[in-house]
Amino acid sequence: MPHPRPTACLALADGTLFFGQGFGAHGQTVAELCFNTAMTGYQEIMTDPSYAGQVVTFTFPHIGNVGVTDEDDEAAEPVAAGMVVKWDPTLPSNWRATGPLTEWLARRGRIGIGGIDTRRLTRAIRQQGAPHVALAHNPEGVFDIEALVAAARGFSGLVGLDLAREVTCAQSYRWDEMRWAWPEGYLPRATPGHRVVAIDYGAKRNILRCLASAGCDVTVLPATATADDILAHSPEGLFLSNGPGDPAATGAYAVPMIREVLDRSAMPVFGICLGHQMLALALGARTIKMNHGHHGANHPVKDLETGKVEITSMNHGFTVDSQSLPAGVVETHISLFDGSNCGIRLADRPVFSVQYHPEASPGPQDSYYLFERFVAAMQQQAAFA
């Protein structure tokens, strides 16, 4: 039913205000505001640990129409601070749905606001950069506007913020669940695979499933794992996961670990998203904050070595500065939207990474070959061992 007055407010640090109808949890949160252009996958986006510290504006208007299901969670709980949508979420209409988005958000303590001019908001983000915001939901429709704007202005931002520590696992664990397949759903690996240590900077579950499906026995270690911790598992390969925050901040402890592993072992290394940035920093490159980042499931990326164009899913607000790549590091992929770096490899070793998310299947299978490449590199190393 329509409300007599707005029940949610989005306040930008420059004083701009957006009023709408709140849903999900009550309360207030502060974060960086980004926009995502994907037409599907809102539940995966909200539970992707890479969105820690961010409120997500969805440019596609039909958010909530397929409901939610536990099978689509990428982490145990939502990580994005909140969501902004054009139309209020409707009741779900999908055979997989186990409940509505609004109730799911309320149970999990995340705020949503609907009835917003998301086109105007997206243009503002593109032109001015990702703003700091305060998002409030009050069923009574009463807001302290000055306090909201002050809270937005007081947000420290993501630069210099190490969020990987906040979203990583507390202790190591094994992962054997493979990708979803009809009609069984998710099944465990039934045969032995290559021993892989995955460093959890905020790993999505579907990345781990892709590793398992490609032929890996995966052991997940926390973001702060040392080279000794990793090598104690006698891995055949090292995987560096996605994650949130400023890569330079996480790199304070991740970069020395990666460099030590590269010095002490010749095993293949594969990184995705923040893992890509960690590897680049370890190899001597640098990262920079983007104006508004890349967030969506329609990003064209060119493989410079094959000429192939992949349609990819992306979620990052920092990027590797391709001009800083040292000798011996080859740029393998670039974004066709802005030419930014999307992949690297070492010229003489099976060490490579990409900025985008090959597990998200927007192509839908354009980029799955990267997992197969990782496994093939481990097989080749084993053959020469």
Chain centre to alpha carbon of residue 44 = 9
C-alpha torsion sign, points 147, 150, 154, 158? positive
Which residues, in sequence order, are CB contacts of 38 under 8 Å at separation 6+? 45, 58, 60, 296, 297, 298, 313, 362
Instruction: Tell me, yes or no, if 26 is annotated catalytic.
Output: no
Of 9, 210, 273, 342, which residue is the catalytic one? Answer: 273
How far is the C-alpha of 250 from the C-alpha of 280, rounded, in Å?
A: 13
Instruction: Tell me, yes or no, if 359 is annotated catalytic.
Output: yes
Strand 351-354's sheet: what is its strand order? 173-175, 216-222, 194-200, 237-240, 269-272, 351-354, 341-346, 329-335, 287-303, 309-320
Which residues, in sequence order, are CB contacts of 159 under 8 Å at separation 6+? 246, 289
Instruction: Tell me, yes or no, if 342 is annotated catalytic.
Output: no
Beta bridge partners of 112: 23, 83
How far is the C-alpha of 22 from the C-alpha of 47, rounded, in Å?
A: 20
How far is the C-alpha of 280 from the C-alpha of 290, rounded, in Å?
A: 16
Within 10 angstroms of residue 50's Cβ, the number of other Cβ atoms is 32
Q: Which of 125, 122, 88, 114 is nearest to 10 (CA)?
A: 114
Contact 26, 137 (CB under 8 A): yes
Which residues are identified as catalytic?
273, 357, 359
